[in-house]
Chain A
């Protein structure tokens, strides 16, 4: 299967690879997927408490090229966004941007799950009751054990 130019670009030069301090109060971490399924994404956001905007985003992904590209793209999109706007990132936006084939759509779903999971973690840490948002979280973070 041939990969799109954009997937190849993100794969060869992934943006925002790294780790934020998961214990910091203004950092939210999402860990979704499973090694047995062939992909695990960890996506982290750092929120500027003064502005409420996402000031930094980092990821690490175990997975195929499309999974890596999806999470790399997600971190690019997250930076500078409010949590509300970040919640609106839809997996189909990622599919479209990266021209993912149907067999790779699950990679974009995982990226969306990782975003929502990271936001949920941040909100939980900061006692924000995210009415109407928690229900949309697909992937449950497994933070206790990280």
Chain B
């Protein structure tokens, strides 16, 4: 094994913290360690100033007002606050929430929790391309619907939902629209006010900021949205989220937002070119399939199924050299394949054969070329070992075999 560095193509899981972000954070650990809620001394004032500045940096990226940004511990908390907070605040108006089957677990599990608390949840199916059907959405809205929650971009496939159209439907029926924009913010333009999104969750660590800090955008006017706090205490963040602010994290989040705003265009241009190259080279192999629509997709993501090869085994051929994720979770007796891919109508066999490549700001052209070679070799190695690849090549119809499911 050569000593080359592990190529990181798992930026949808988390991004490395940009060194410029780290530099911005460092003073806030010791010299400027104050509590942003301390109103009586210099330490507190400078911490508060730093938080205000970060809020402004983030608001600029989103093209919203500073006060509409509520800091949290991350996108999971933001999603919990948005859904539970709206459910409790708007209980008199109704109890029905619409979401989709391919949402992140932070949404689905929160909805599951709300169902136990009396909510009625509609889980929309997605089409084969990963997009929701707008007619299905409109048909699902009822008089007691209070919220539609649909993600901006999917974490596994990078598929971007038709946000403007969804917002128009919500507007027409007077329903609030929340979006989990964790994968989109900082990478593509996400302007909730312009689009018509009323609440939006996102996090720093998917946009080259630190882990442990996120935010919820909450519209302050037209409409004025309120959410019931889920964490009670000192009344921070306009009473919506108590708890001492993570000042260094927030400073880093702000810096990450500023860099994203300035460099988004060039990052997108470079990454989409690299992604297209990776995808084109890998799909030159026989029996491969790109998952998710190519018309509306994040510029840095390619989710590819390599038929007749199991994803986890495939990853093992190159995991000394490349870090990626698989749509196959072969870690339990039940062997659950990705529910996102299965929700798009992909057979369990293809879902087990999928790999998610997510590039990032620090991915180089050379790394992509190395990855292409390593993945190709891995697929060939695994196909040499695969009985179903051999059967496929012999012309056996795999669907006609009575498999002994276990």
Contacts and interface: CB of A to CB of B under 8 A. Distances in A.
A67 B313 contact: yes
A80 interface: no
Interface in B206-232: none
Given A3-B316, A63-B330, A145-B402, A36 B387 contact: no
A38 B352 contact: yes
Which residue among A17, A60, A62, A141 has the maximum number of chain B CB atoms within 10 Å of its CB? A62
A74 B399 CA distance: 28
Interface stretch (A83-91, A103-111, A119-127): A103-111
B310 A63 contact: yes
Interface stretch (A27-35, A49-57, A128-136): A27-35
Q: How large is the interface on B (under 10, 10 to 19, 20 to 34, 35 or more residues)?
A: 35 or more
B348 interface: yes
Interface stretch (B83-91, B186-194, B389-397): B389-397
A145 B352 contact: no
Nearest to B402: A142
Contacts of B316: 3, 11, 64-65
A38 B335 contact: yes
A65 to B, nearest CB: 4
A62 B308 contact: yes
Interface string B363-374: 000000000000
A35 B352 contact: yes
Nearest to B312: A64
B318 to A, nearest CB: 12
B390 A1 contact: no
Contact of A35 (B330, B390, B403): B403
A44 to B, nearest CB: 10
B347 interface: yes
B308 A37 contact: no
A118 interface: no
B328 A34 contact: no
A60 B313 contact: no
Contact of A34 (B312, B400, B403): B403
B139 interface: no
B385 A139 contact: no
A32 B406 contact: yes
A145 B389 contact: no
B265 interface: no
- Do most interface residues of chain B lie in helix, strand or loop, or is the interface mixed? mixed
Given A34-B404, A35-B388, A35-B398, A103 B310 contact: no
Contact of A39 (B330, B384, B391): B330
Contacts of B403: 33-37, 40, 142
A146 B391 contact: yes
Contacts of A32: 404, 406
Interface string A55-87: 000001111110110000000000000000000
Interface string B221-262: 000000000000000000000000000000000000000000
Interface in B329-384: 330-333, 335, 337, 347-349, 352, 382, 384
A35 B406 contact: no
Contacts of B347: 36
Given A35-B349, A61-B385, A106 B406 contact: yes
B337 A62 contact: no
B405 interface: yes
A37 B313 contact: no
A4 to B, nearest CB: 13
B387 A140 contact: no
A14 B404 contact: no
Interface string A94-118: 0000000001111001100100000
B401 A142 contact: yes
B386 interface: yes
A135 B225 CA distance: 65
Interface of B: 308-310, 312-313, 316, 328, 330-333, 335, 337, 347-349, 352, 382, 384-391, 396, 398, 400-406
Interface of A: 1, 3, 11, 14, 17, 19, 31-42, 60-65, 67-68, 103-106, 109-110, 113, 138-142, 145-146
Given A33-B406, A39-B335, A61-B385, 12 more contacts: A36-B352, A37-B405, A38-B328, A38-B352, A62-B310, A62-B382, A64-B312, A65-B316, A142-B401, A142-B402, A146-B396, A146-B401
25 contacts: A11-B313, A31-B387, A31-B404, A34-B404, A35-B308, A35-B348, A36-B349, A36-B405, A37-B335, A38-B335, A38-B337, A38-B352, A42-B387, A60-B387, A60-B390, A61-B386, A62-B385, A62-B386, A62-B387, A63-B313, A64-B330, A140-B402, A142-B401, A142-B403, A146-B396
